[in-house]
Structure 1
């Protein structure tokens, strides 16, 4: 099972310390909620996990190896950091097919991920006409192309209506029950209470709390105490 390990990581941008001696690990086959206020260092941490930013010190691994050392990264890790990185003139199907070809993934997978994300009826539509919620679904479909063992999602519920949020909860729960890992960066505590097995909270770039999901009634108190 693919898991994430962050070990004593530090990252600065000029005089600004974004992440400071941060360590945590995600359990296998579980949904881990990654929480923290704006500016806590969550996005920088996600980018270091995905090899987009190099830590000044420390080590970040996915499945025991740095992301950049993975031979077929899309088959091990699917990531959604933003739901806007699409060419507006392409259809959803064309976008996914181009990525599948580039990654050496069977093009039959395109139809499968469109179906998995509820976009099976929208594959022929151009992305410029998609709502934010549909773009979120397309971003998730993109992450699922390689049938990865781990998903990394940054605010995946943005733009989803209540029905879409219920669908996302069910999808992520089923995905984890199949033995996959999920790391969800979010600030929506109500969603965390309903889906997370494990919680990591950071503030000012440092780990404040990590452990199994606490009782729902105490999560908000814990978050406010350590991140406020």
Structure 2
């Protein structure tokens, strides 16, 4: 299974240092919570891991190679960075089918991922009528299409009701139990603390903490202590 490695990673936008000499590892078989205040550099870091932003210095790798060098990235890494990036006139099924064909995946994958995220009943509805929670589920289905070993998720609980959040917790925990790698950036600490094995906390683009999720303590309190 695949691991994520970030080594002395930095990114500047003009005179702004968004990520500053950041190093950490995300191991297979774990759910890792990626935490930090707004503007800490979390999304920029995720985008560098996914090859969407070029680092100023340092490296971000998947099993030792940059994302752009992966032979079939869709079968290695699935990502949710934006749950609104869908054509509103397409149905969920048509959206997934177009991606499946482009990637050369088996036809059964579309029905499978719709079932995984509990969207089968809404598969033939147009995305313009979806709630934010339903769009989150469709974004996750898109990430799962290639049956990847790694999931990289940015605020995946946005728009989910309590039942949806409970479902997401169970799903991510089960995914990691299969030996896969889950990296989740979130502000919903009460939810992630129930499933996180590892915690990475950054602020102002730099690393404050990387290690096991604090056992027997409140993650929010721990987070506040670390971030000051």
| TM-score for both structures, normalised by structure 1 | 0.98
Structure 2 equivalent of residue 80 of structure 1: 80
Structure 1 equivalent of residue 11 of structure 2: 11
Structure 2 equivalent of residue 92 of structure 1: 92
Using the TM superposition, give the Cα deviation of residue 221 of structure 1 relative to its aligned residue in structure 2, in angstroms: 2.8
1:156 aligns with 2:168: no
Structure 2 equivalent of residue 52 of structure 1: 52
Please show how residues 183-222 of structure 1 align to structure 2 within 5 Å.
183-222=183-222
Please show how residues 130-169 of structure 1 align to structure 2 within 5 Å.
130-169=130-169
Structure 2 equivalent of residue 170 of structure 1: 170
Using the alignment, how far apart are the partners of 1:19 and 1:204 within structure 2? 7
Using the alignment, how far apart are the partners of 2:216 and 2:175 within structure 1? 22
What SS does the aligned partner of 1:195 have? coil
Using the TM superposition, give the Cα deviation of residue 217 of structure 1 relative to its aligned residue in structure 2, in angstroms: 2.4
What SS does the aligned partner of 2:93 have? helix
- Between stretches 43-52 and 102-111, larger displacement belongs to 102-111
Using the alignment, how far apart are the partners of 2:141 and 2:25 within structure 1? 25
Structure 1 equivalent of residue 23 of structure 2: 23
The answer as to whether partners of 1:91 and 1:127 remain within 8 angstroms in 2 is yes
The answer as to whether partners of 1:8 and 1:58 remain within 8 angstroms in 2 is yes
Using the alignment, how far apart are the partners of 1:73 and 1:28 within structure 2? 17
The answer as to whether partners of 1:203 and 1:226 remain within 8 angstroms in 2 is no
- Between stretches 83-92 and 210-219, larger displacement belongs to 210-219
Using the alignment, how far apart are the partners of 2:17 and 2:30 within structure 1? 30
Using the alignment, how far apart are the partners of 1:96 and 1:116 within structure 2? 13
| TM-score for both structures, normalised by structure 2 | 0.98
The answer as to whether partners of 2:92 and 2:124 remain within 8 angstroms in 1 is yes
Using the TM superposition, give the Cα deviation of residue 216 of structure 1 relative to its aligned residue in structure 2, in angstroms: 4.7
Note the aligned Cα RMSD (angstroms): 0.9
Using the alignment, how far apart are the partners of 2:20 and 2:222 within structure 1? 21
Using the alignment, how far apart are the partners of 2:43 and 2:118 within structure 1? 27
**Aligned positions, number:** 228
The answer as to whether partners of 2:10 and 2:57 remain within 8 angstroms in 1 is yes
Structure 2 equivalent of residue 224 of structure 1: 224
The answer as to whether partners of 1:193 and 1:216 remain within 8 angstroms in 2 is no
1:65 aligns with 2:65: yes
Give unpaired runs (5+ residues) of structure 1.
Answer: none
